[in-house]
Amino acid sequence: MRHALILSGILICGLSGIPTVNGQDPPTSDPGSVAVVPVAKERMVIPSAANRDLAPLMLEGPHPTTGGTAAAHRKGDETSAAMDEPKPENIRKLRLAYDQHEALARYTAKRILATLNSSGAKLTPDGAEFAHQKPELRLRVAEAFEARQRLQHAELDWLRQRLDRIEEQIARREPIKEQIIDRRVDELLNPYLQWDPSKLQVAAGEIRKGVKPKETSGESAADKEQRSRNNLKQLALAMHNYHDVSFDGYNSFPTAVVMGSARSTRNGKTPRSWRVDLLPFLEGNNDLYQQYRMDEAWDSPHNKKLIERMPDVFRSPYDDPKSTKCGYYVLVGPGTVFEKRPLGVRMSEIVDGTSNTILLVEAKRNIPWTKPEDIPFDPEKPVPELGGFVEGKFAAAMADGSAHVFDRAEVAGILKWMILRNDGHPIQVP
């Protein structure tokens, strides 16, 4: 029920269908206030991030920690920055896919009407003239419906992620409440005083002009475990969104090593990691994806420069903050979600159940994040070592998108069956 009230308000206000007039979308005086698809006759009108979908959470007037207005300090404020983020590439692609299906449905209807009108017959929707034409149109409308469902599932997941981040930011500020208050007092007395928000420390009273605060991590083992699960959830969500976007009419998870222009290993000669192909589905990383040269090796002079820009979501919180070694991998082998084959595995092929099948694992390996290498798995051999950051434990995301921390000894007897997607062994995942 987390975020239930906020999300229900968003769904009621932002995701309600609004009919159009004369086949056109309703006009708006503020182009930034809504995102409306021109070709849709009856569409969901989605409020933009900055204006409506999280409006109840936005602060007006003087900024409570840095002074001035909220808009003036939005660049340095994490919560405002989270609300101002543009929608990720996968949502734009899903919206485009929906637009195309809707346009095709309209074109089909127009063509049917033009054909029948040319006959000169009196037409009624229930008439026999339409009987043999409706199945084709119904198929097009059904495709548009499914495309819209995928789009709005992705938008809802995106909103949930953003709300999670805002919730975490609120929790992080609570322990340094006294520092924030002291800083605000100083700012009110000296409007020209400039502070670096990254210098806040847990010990109150250390934020004073000219005093360099002590270095401290301030993150407990429980915090790191939670952050690792959150990383896995984000990666699993990106995997699902990747699956929902059709490439050449084929929906699937990525292959562990991608060699084609899209999701196929059949075309192209230069291998790249699934982590590169997931970038457009991870918020704020589409530019990095565009800079990666698909026709060059991962360690070419150009692509090698991008390694140091590894997104935090690929780094284990237990690792060095400057590490470019990936902390999350897929298992590659017969019967896994990422078994070696020309095209990726589809959701429908996970016959053992998505909640029982491992999608991603946290593991300590000396592998740069762009390198097309993961963890090999052979069902006839012992399961490879997973985890490695915390003794006796490893984190994993299941194919349903959930993330867990498992005790290695507790799941030792079923771990192989958790990795296989179609073995048929009934298991109870703890």
Residue 406 is inside which H or E element, if any? strand 403-407
> Residue 131: CA atoms inside 13 Å, Cβ hemisphere, count?
3
Query: CB-based contacts of 36: which residues, under 8 Å, 6+ apart?
Result: 25, 26, 28, 43, 45
Nearest to 397 by CA among 387, 386, 388, 405: 405
| Residue type present at position 291 | Q
Spatial separation of the C-alpha atoms in residues 232 and 201, rounded to whole Å: 28
Most confident of 67-81, 117-131, 176-190, 293-307: 293-307
Per residue in 381-414, pLDDT (tens digit) is 999 999 999 999 999 999 999 999 999 999 999 9
Per residue in 226-280, pLDDT (tens digit) is 999 999 999 999 999 898 886 767 889 999 998 865 544 455 678 999 999 999 9
**Environment class of residue 27 by beta-carbon count within 10 Å: exposed (0-12), middle (13-18) or buried (19+)?**
exposed
Spatial separation of the C-alpha atoms in residues 409 and 171, rounded to whole Å: 33
For β-strands 331-332 and 257-258, DSSP reports them as: unpaired
| Residue type present at position 281 | F
| Average pLDDT over every residue of 178-201 | 65
The separation between CA 93 and the C-alpha centre of its own chain, rounded to angstroms, equals 13
What's the DSSP call for residue 307?
G
SS3 content of the chain, % helix, strand, coil (to 5): 40, 10, 45
- Round the average pLDDT of the chain to a whole number and report it: 75
Q: What is the pLDDT of residue 23?
A: 40
Q: Do 273 and 255 touch, CB atoms closer than 8 A?
A: no
Where are the alpha helices (H) located in 294-362, listed in sequence order?
301-304
For β-strands 46-47 and 393-398, DSSP reports them as: unpaired
Per residue in 96-107, pLDDT (tens digit) is 888 888 888 888
User: Is the predicted pLDDT of residue 30 greater than 70, yes or no?
Assistant: no
User: Is the predicted pLDDT of residue 24 greater than 80, yes or no?
Assistant: no
User: Is the predicted pLDDT of residue 77 greater than 60, yes or no?
Assistant: no
Spatial separation of the C-alpha atoms in residues 15 and 139, rounded to whole Å: 24
Spatial separation of the C-alpha atoms in residues 127 and 206, rounded to whole Å: 80
Residue 359's φ and ψ, nearest 5 degrees, are -100, -50
Alpha-carbon torsion 67, 71, 74, 76, what sign?
Answer: negative
The residue ranking higher by pLDDT, 211 or 201, is 201
Per residue in 335-387, pLDDT (tens digit) is 999 999 988 999 999 999 999 999 999 999 999 999 999 999 999 999 999 99
Q: Per DSSP, what are the bridge partners of residue 415?
A: none
User: Is the predicted pLDDT of residue 11 greater than 70, yes or no?
Assistant: no
Q: What is the pLDDT of residue 218?
A: 60
Q: Do 230 and 164 touch, CB atoms closer than 8 A?
A: yes
Nearest to 46 by CA among 22, 84, 10, 82: 10
Torsion of CA 247, 248, 254, 260, to 10 degrees: -110
